[in-house]
Structures are given as C-alpha cells and as structure tokens.
Amino acid sequence: MVDNLSKKQRSYCMSRVKSKDTALETKVRTELFRRGLRFRKHVAALPGRPDIVFPAVKLVVFLDGDFWHGYRFPIWRHTLPKYWRIKIDNNRNRDRRNFAKLRRMGWRVLRIWQHEIERDLNACTTEIVSIYMETVKRSRA
C-alpha cells in the first residue's frame, strides 16, 4: 500500500498526534480527582512514562489506545501495511519490556484500553480506585 502523502506531509501529520494529555486521559484523571485521588502524571523517571502514577502505593496506570498499542493485534495485523505492522509490534514489545521493568522495581501495573474507557468510564475509574484502596490497605498491614 502506497502512502498518499509525501514524507514531509506524513511527518507533519504524525507530529500532530498527541501522546499525552489526550481526551481519554483527561476524562479518567478528572474522574479520579473528583473521587478524591491525587496522583502524578507522565513520570519520566519510570519506564514507559506511565499516564497516572500513585507513588505512595507504587501503582501505575497506563491508558492505552487500541490502535497504537495493538489491542488484539494478531487478529487484524494482516490488514496493515508493513510499516504499521512493524511500528505496532515495536510498541507492543516496548510495552512488555516496560511492564517487566516496573514489576521488577516493585510497582503494580494496571493497563486500561481505550475501548474500555469509551464503553464505561465509571467502571474503569472504579477499578482504579478499588486497586488503589486495596494497595493502600496492603501497605498498611
């Protein structure tokens, strides 16, 4: 499949894709804040720069886009041009490495997919709050 844009045009288009503070992240963070949770965001010192970080209980949350992070990628991988297959494969491999690094560092890692947030924001934030509270209880015991 041939790209219908020049390299310069494609580069410009890709530079406009937000990687942080997306509408999805803002919705989740707003709801968590409304529920009384305080957190840090995009902590550069942690592998993968997690979207939401609760340092006191060592809990990180990634809010992953279905396309960019390859939700059920093996099913639709064959529909993409080689460039995108490689790009998404690399993203998935990087996600696995970051997950493993965070776990070795003692962090609890939660990944929530874009379609889950779009389907039921309340359920997603309830899950985060629940895991946060469980982690708080465990750390006090």
Q: What is the pTM of this model?
A: 0.86
pLDDT tens figures, 36-78:
999 999 999 999 999 999 999 999 999 999 999 999 999 999 9
Look at domain 14-140 and name its CATH class.
Answer: alpha beta
Q: Give dist(CA 65, CA 99) in Å, integer.
A: 16
Whether the predicted pLDDT of 22 surpasses 80:
yes
Tell me the pLDDT tens digit for each residue of 87-130: 999 999 999 999 999 999 999 999 999 999 999 999 999 999 99
Among the listed residues 50, 52, 42, 41, the one whose alpha carbon sits nearest the alpha carbon of residue 127 = 52
Structure tokens belonging to residue 102: 């965070």
Closest CA to 53 of 64, 43, 67: 43
pLDDT of residue 34: 97
Higher per-residue pLDDT: 84 or 11: 84
Helix ranges, 60-120 (H): 73-76, 82-104, 114-119
Domain borders along the chain are: 14-140
> Can you tell me whether residue 17 is helix, strand or coil?
coil
Q: How sure is the predictor about 18, in pLDDT bands with cuts at 50, 70 and 90?
A: low
How many CB atoms neighbour CB 139 within 10 A? 11
Q: What pLDDT is stored for residue 115 in this prediction?
A: 97
Query: What span, in angstroms and rounded, lies between the C-alpha atoms of 4 and 70?
Result: 23
For the record, the structure tokens of 107 come out as: 């962090």
Of 57, 55, 27, 56, whose CA–CA distance to 42 is shortest? 55
Residue 69 confidence (pLDDT)? 94
